[in-house]
Amino acid sequence: MTTEKVTVTAPSGMHARPAGELVKLVKSFAPAKITICTEAKEVNAASMLSILSLGLKCGTEAEIRVEGGDEQAIASAVAGFIRNIKD
Protein backbone atom coordinates (compact mmCIF):
# COMPACT_ATOMS: atom_id res chain seq x y z
CA MET A 1 0.00 0.00 0.00
CA THR A 2 1.18 3.51 -0.88
CA THR A 3 -0.09 6.70 0.70
CA GLU A 4 0.19 10.36 -0.20
CA LYS A 5 -1.11 13.40 1.68
CA VAL A 6 -2.79 16.26 -0.14
CA THR A 7 -4.40 19.54 0.92
CA VAL A 8 -7.47 20.82 -0.90
CA THR A 9 -6.64 24.28 -2.26
CA ALA A 10 -9.75 25.08 -4.35
CA PRO A 11 -11.69 27.92 -2.69
CA SER A 12 -14.96 25.97 -3.12
CA GLY A 13 -13.43 22.68 -1.99
CA MET A 14 -14.55 19.37 -3.47
CA HIS A 15 -18.01 19.76 -4.99
CA ALA A 16 -20.02 17.67 -7.45
CA ARG A 17 -18.25 18.51 -10.72
CA PRO A 18 -14.67 17.77 -9.58
CA ALA A 19 -15.88 14.78 -7.55
CA GLY A 20 -17.38 13.28 -10.72
CA GLU A 21 -14.16 13.92 -12.65
CA LEU A 22 -12.14 12.36 -9.81
CA VAL A 23 -14.30 9.22 -9.91
CA LYS A 24 -13.64 8.89 -13.68
CA LEU A 25 -9.90 9.19 -13.02
CA VAL A 26 -10.01 6.65 -10.19
CA LYS A 27 -12.00 4.14 -12.27
CA SER A 28 -9.39 4.39 -15.04
CA PHE A 29 -6.90 2.80 -12.61
CA ALA A 30 -9.04 -0.32 -11.98
CA PRO A 31 -8.49 -2.83 -10.47
CA ALA A 32 -6.39 -0.79 -7.98
CA LYS A 33 -8.23 0.00 -4.74
CA ILE A 34 -8.09 3.74 -3.97
CA THR A 35 -9.39 5.28 -0.78
CA ILE A 36 -9.47 8.86 0.47
CA CYS A 37 -9.08 9.37 4.20
CA THR A 38 -9.56 12.31 6.55
CA GLU A 39 -9.25 12.36 10.32
CA ALA A 40 -12.94 11.49 10.60
CA LYS A 41 -13.63 9.10 7.72
CA GLU A 42 -12.28 6.77 5.04
CA VAL A 43 -14.14 6.31 1.73
CA ASN A 44 -13.89 4.48 -1.57
CA ALA A 45 -12.64 6.99 -4.15
CA ALA A 46 -14.69 5.28 -6.87
CA SER A 47 -17.93 6.60 -5.33
CA MET A 48 -18.94 10.21 -5.96
CA LEU A 49 -21.37 10.28 -3.03
CA SER A 50 -18.71 8.87 -0.71
CA ILE A 51 -16.23 11.53 -1.80
CA LEU A 52 -18.80 14.29 -1.27
CA SER A 53 -19.60 12.86 2.19
CA LEU A 54 -16.05 13.73 3.28
CA GLY A 55 -16.91 17.43 3.06
CA LEU A 56 -13.50 18.36 1.68
CA LYS A 57 -13.26 22.13 2.05
CA CYS A 58 -10.39 24.45 1.18
CA GLY A 59 -7.55 23.71 3.59
CA THR A 60 -8.67 20.17 4.44
CA GLU A 61 -5.87 17.62 4.46
CA ALA A 62 -6.63 14.15 3.11
CA GLU A 63 -4.62 11.01 2.58
CA ILE A 64 -4.80 8.98 -0.63
CA ARG A 65 -4.27 5.23 -0.14
CA VAL A 66 -3.63 2.96 -3.09
CA GLU A 67 -3.41 -0.83 -3.18
CA GLY A 68 -2.49 -2.63 -6.39
CA GLY A 69 -1.15 -1.55 -9.76
CA ASP A 70 1.52 1.13 -10.01
CA GLU A 71 0.69 2.46 -6.56
CA GLN A 72 3.05 5.45 -6.46
CA ALA A 73 2.04 6.75 -9.89
CA ILE A 74 -1.66 6.34 -9.08
CA ALA A 75 -1.33 8.09 -5.70
CA SER A 76 0.55 10.96 -7.36
CA ALA A 77 -2.06 11.30 -10.11
CA VAL A 78 -5.00 11.37 -7.67
CA ALA A 79 -3.25 13.78 -5.28
CA GLY A 80 -2.27 16.00 -8.22
CA PHE A 81 -5.87 16.08 -9.41
CA ILE A 82 -7.09 17.17 -5.97
CA ARG A 83 -4.35 19.82 -5.68
CA ASN A 84 -5.25 21.28 -9.05
CA ILE A 85 -9.03 21.51 -8.72
CA LYS A 86 -10.27 24.80 -10.07
CA ASP A 87 -13.60 26.28 -9.02
Task: Give catalytic residues, as residue numbers.
Answer: 15
In this predicted structure, what is the pLDDT of residue 86? 85
Instruction: Give the whole-number percent of the chain exceeding pLDDT 70.
Output: 100
> Could you read off the pLDDT of 41-55 as tens digits, one per residue?
999 999 999 999 999
Whole-angstrom distance, CA of residue 55 vs CA of residue 82: 13
> Could you read off the pLDDT of 54-67 as tens digits, one per residue?
999 999 999 999 99
Strands 33-37 and 2-7: unpaired
Does residue 87 register a pLDDT over 80?
no
Domains, the chain, ordered by start? 2-83 (3.30.1340.10)
Does residue 22 register a pLDDT over 90?
yes
> Could you read off the pLDDT of 8-20 as tens digits, one per residue?
999 999 999 999 9
Whole-angstrom distance, CA of residue 82 vs CA of residue 76: 10
